[in-house]
Amino acid sequence: MTQRNCCSKRITIAIDGPAASGKSTIGYYLAGYLACLYLDTGVLYRAVTWAVQDQDIPVEDETRVTRLAEEVNIEVLPPTESDGRQYTVRVAGQDVTWELRSPQVERAVSPVSAYRGVRAALTHRMREIARQHSVVMVGRDIGTVVLPDANIKLFVDASAEERARRRYLELKQKGKDVTYEEVLKGIRRRDTIDSQREAAPLRAAADAILFDTTALDIEEMMAAATRLVKSKHDRIGAIEGAEHGQV
């Protein structure tokens, strides 16, 4: 992969979409391609969820869950281990990177992330990161709420059946005892919660580029995403040059 430098000015790329649509894979690739910081914001919600469970706080207790989200120390760092991770996540100094994908966290992350106070606390953290770095930020409300002025916005989607197939294969490769039907049911449940929640529901920003990955394998996803972002990235550079009197 040939690496490009981000624009001379700070650039922000917002990538949204439902579970297993390919948005995290695309975001990680593009961050490397553009030499930008990569942030999968879902890990912040998962980290809060893990901390909630670690402290035996009932998920239904919105007040305590929100207070924890406001106070807990979460670090998202470059990979510290060569075990396939894309980043290292520490909660109160403890490496919980792989624990964030446990079934227990998976079941509870949607209700935790639906709390308005939790979203407000983590949105503040995300914006602070974007103010300090050129970043590719991936989530479910990045282009609509977190970074509404992002330079580039993608909304990545795929059919529920294809997303369930991808997640099912991923879980089986990790030795998880699941059925395709169970995974599909979970995907549809997550879609319903994310799209119908009161605070920052999942939807495409009006100016987002819609990117359907249903029929694409990973290599095709990367090629298509690179073409989309390169075109938009080059236009941004041209606009910046014109604003500074460059021809």
pLDDT (tens digit, 9 = 90+) per residue, 114-136?
899 999 999 999 999 899 889 99
What amino acid is encoded at 131 in this protein? Answer: R
Strand order in the sheet with 94-95: 74-77, 88-91, 94-95
What pLDDT, on a 0 to 100 scale, did the predictor assign at position 6?
52
Q: Concatenated DSSP letters for 132-145?
A: HS-EEEEESSIIII
Reported as a single tens digit per residue, the pLDDT across 211-221 is: 999 999 999 99
Band of residue 200 on the pLDDT scale cut at 50, 70, 90:
confident
* Rounded Cα–Cα distance for residues 109 and 244 (Å): 45
Mean pLDDT estimate for the chain: 88
Rounded to two decimals, the pTM is 0.81
The C-alpha angle with vertex 91 and arms to 87 and 93, in degrees rounded to 5, equals 95
Q: What is d(CA 38, CA 40) in angstroms, rounded to the nearest whole number?
A: 7
Q: Can you list the domains of the chain with their CATH numbers?
A: 12-222 (3.40.50.300)
- Sheet with 135-139: list strands edge to edge: 37-40, 135-139, 12-16, 152-157, 209-212
Spacing of C-alpha 176 from chain mean position:
23
Burial class for 178, CB neighbours closer than 10 Å (0-12, 13-18, 19+): middle
pLDDT, position 85:
84
Q: Tell whether the model's pLDDT for residue 107 goes beyond 90.
A: no
User: CA-CA distances (angstroms) from residue 181 to 164, 171, 217?
Assistant: 8, 13, 22
The predicted structure's pLDDT at residue 9: 67
